[in-house]
Structure 1
Amino acid sequence: MRILVVNDDGIGADGLRHLVQMAKELGEVWVVAPNQQCSAMSHRITVHGTIDVIKKDYLIDGVHAYAVGGTPADCVKIGLRYLLPQKPDIFFSGINYGYNVGLDILYSGTVGAAMEAIVNGIPSIAFSKEMNDNYDVTDAYLLSITKELLSRSIQKNQIWNVNFPGCNMSELRGIVEDRIPAQEQFYSDHYERTELKKDNFRLRACGVKNESAKEGTDMKAVLENYISIGKVDNHILR
């Protein structure tokens, strides 16, 4: 199996390394990742200027790796057109540093990359995790969940969206499926304002974490220390 792996946190991200290590258990791995942090770029692509593509010696042996001076969606396009010898069998995106649940899915570069992959006819899974450095639950369940999802059928306009809590194994409450995106952001919009001269001002983003969500949603699941599995549609595809 040939696997293309992209993320939005950059080629040096820990989450990418955990995902690549798992992917190696399944087949031949190609990493095409941004050379810098590209969170919240959604499905953005580069239409002006140039994009540098640099071959890398990745931290994990036997992995083909390239750093791209563009967005996550750019990485998918470039990987398919210029780098991989053949179309991959599967596409993995992530593991994002921070949940992609609720309305945050709209802004996610992780999900945007997965959407670009299904536009090109490649089955895709987006992986995200709580914004901390605890990968105990993720590493314990990542391979088994991936194998299970790969064995299932999914519509050509859908991706799997998997979110892992960053809790200890003893705190994990289980796995829940068919979670729908909550109709709110995990971090609600909030900005700290600093006054500047001549009626100008500066804003610093500092979102406020949501502490509750409706039953049946992806956000409710992760807030209660469940692994959340759901599907996200691309409504342009039919």
Structure 2
Amino acid sequence: MGAVRQAAWAARTRLTVMAVGATAALVTGATACGGSSGGSPAAAPTTAVVTPAAPQPLTILVSNDDGVGAAGIDAVVTALRALPAVTVDVVAPATNQSGTGGKTSPTTPAHHDATTASGVAATAVDGFPADSVNVALDVLGVKPNLVVTGINQGQNLGPFVDLSGTVGAARAAAAHGIPALATSMGLGPAFDYSQAATLVTAWVTAHRATFTGTGGAALSTVTNLNIPNCGAAKIRGERELATEPTVTDMATAITNGQDCSSTANPADEVGAFNAGFATLTTIPAKPAK
């Protein structure tokens, strides 16, 4: 059982000790019952209530490459804002910047107030995804414990991560010493980001105790989460796998080949993704070339 549940169980249970001879005493905490007839009634055992510790405050910077008004970033912002003790800052490109990788502008780009699709206050940057993270950290003074980028429209697997602006923005965070999670959803005829947003918040919740700093020495890796586009079907689960710097059939890594009704269990990143599994990989914080 979990540590909190085990502590609560132990607090409600007391050791019963039978004394040698005819007299028995029930020991509950520090209170002992009278043993003779007509004596005072036994004191009721006390029950300790264990309250889980409140989570430490967490500040998350959210960016993307599809643009500040895209549905994917709005879905993940809404989901993250629902977590306890979480503050979300949104700084993203003003327009779609897909496929721009880690490009940055020669001079600091302009920025202006904006909102996400559902009206959450944001800052729009007239530049690339990596520019957006740099503006947030270096110009706006945002001090996040974690950067989440996406949810991107279209998978970013294997050798294609270097082309991804979503990954490029996450790498800009890593260059500032801030942990980053790049998130993408597979191509398909339509996009329902609800399952993807749930996986993102689950990952943040599972790891939030490790996000204690607000920058420092550059990090060597970022985390890359790709969620298959299953439509009304359920994602089959999540697989933590090694990234694939090369793939035999590169087309399968970017086309709509996901089959969430599959019973296959591939051991490779692209195969697992196309068989309906969300894939979690660790990728270098700098492009291969």
- TM-score of the aligned structures, taking structure 2 as reference length: 0.66
Tell me how far apart the structure 2 counterparts of residues 186 and 10 of structure 1 sit (CA, whole Å): 30
Aligned to 2:227: 164
The 2-side partners of 1:185 and 1:15 are apart by 30
Task: Mark the CA change 1:21 to 1:187 in structure 2 (over 3 Å): closer, same or farther.
Answer: farther
Superposition pairs of residues 113-192 of structure 1, within 5 angstroms: 113-132=169-188, 133-151=191-209, 156-168=219-231, 170-181=233-244, 183-184=246-247, 188=251
Can you list the C-alpha shifts for 1:76-113, whole angstroms capped at 9, x where unaligned?
A: 111111213x4211100111100010111011101011
Aligned ranges 1:25-104 → 2 under 5 Å: 25-26=82-83, 27-47=86-106, 51-60=109-118, 63-84=120-141, 86-104=142-160
For residues 104 and 286 of structure 2, the distance between their equivalents in structure 1, rounded to whole angstroms, comes to: 19
Q: Is the 8 A contact 1:34 1:72 kept in 2?
A: yes
Find the aligned partners of 1:185 and 1:147 in 2 and give their Cα distance.
35
The structure whose Rg is larger is 2
Rounded to whole Å, the distance in 1 between the matches of 2:249 and 2:180 is 23
Question: Is it true that 1:209 corresponds to 2:252 in the alignment?
Answer: no
RMSD of equivalent CA atoms: 2.9
Which whole-Å deviations, capped at 9, do the CAs of 1:4-35 have from their partners, x for residues lacking one? 11100001111100111122134111111111
- The one-letter amino acid paired with 2:223 is W
Inter-CA distance 185–111: structure 2 relative to 1 (3 Å threshold): farther
Aligned residues: 214
In structure 2, the residue matched to 1:196 is none
Label 1:188 to 1:169 Cα distance change in 2 as closer, same or farther (>3 A). closer
Q: Structure 1 pair 168/145, CA: closer, same or farther in 2 (3 Å)?
A: farther
TM-score (norm 1): 0.79
Could you tell me which amino acid in structure 1 is paired with residue 109 of structure 2? I
Structure 2 gap ranges (5+): 1-57, 212-217, 259-264
Q: CA deviation at 1:168?
A: 4.0
Q: Which AA in structure 1 matches 2:220? A: N
Task: Provide the C-alpha distance between the structure 1 equivalents of 2:181 and 2:95, rounded to a whole number of angstroms.
Answer: 22
Highest relative contact order (Cα 8 Å, sep 6+), 1 or 2?
1
* Superposed CA offset, 1:175-207 (max 9, x none): 111232251398649xxxxxxxxxxxxxxxxx9
Change (3 A) 1:156 1:52: closer
- The 3-state SS of whatever aligns with 1:209 is coil
Aligned pair 1:231/2:287, yes or no? Answer: no
Alignment CA distance shift 1:208-1:162 (3 Å): closer
**Alpha-carbon separation, structure 1, partners of 2:199 and 2:81:** 15
- Change in Cα spacing, 1:176 to 1:38, as seen in structure 2 (3 Å) is same
Change in CA separation of 1:93 and 1:208 when aligned onto 2, cut-off 3 Å: closer
User: What is the deviation of 1:158?
Assistant: 1.1
Q: Alpha carbons of 1:210 and 1:5: their partners in 2 closer, same or farther (altered >3 Å)? A: closer
Counterpart of 1:201 in structure 2 is none
Q: Return the letter of the residue paired with 1:55.
A: D
Q: Is the 8 A contact 2:79 2:198 kept in 1?
A: no
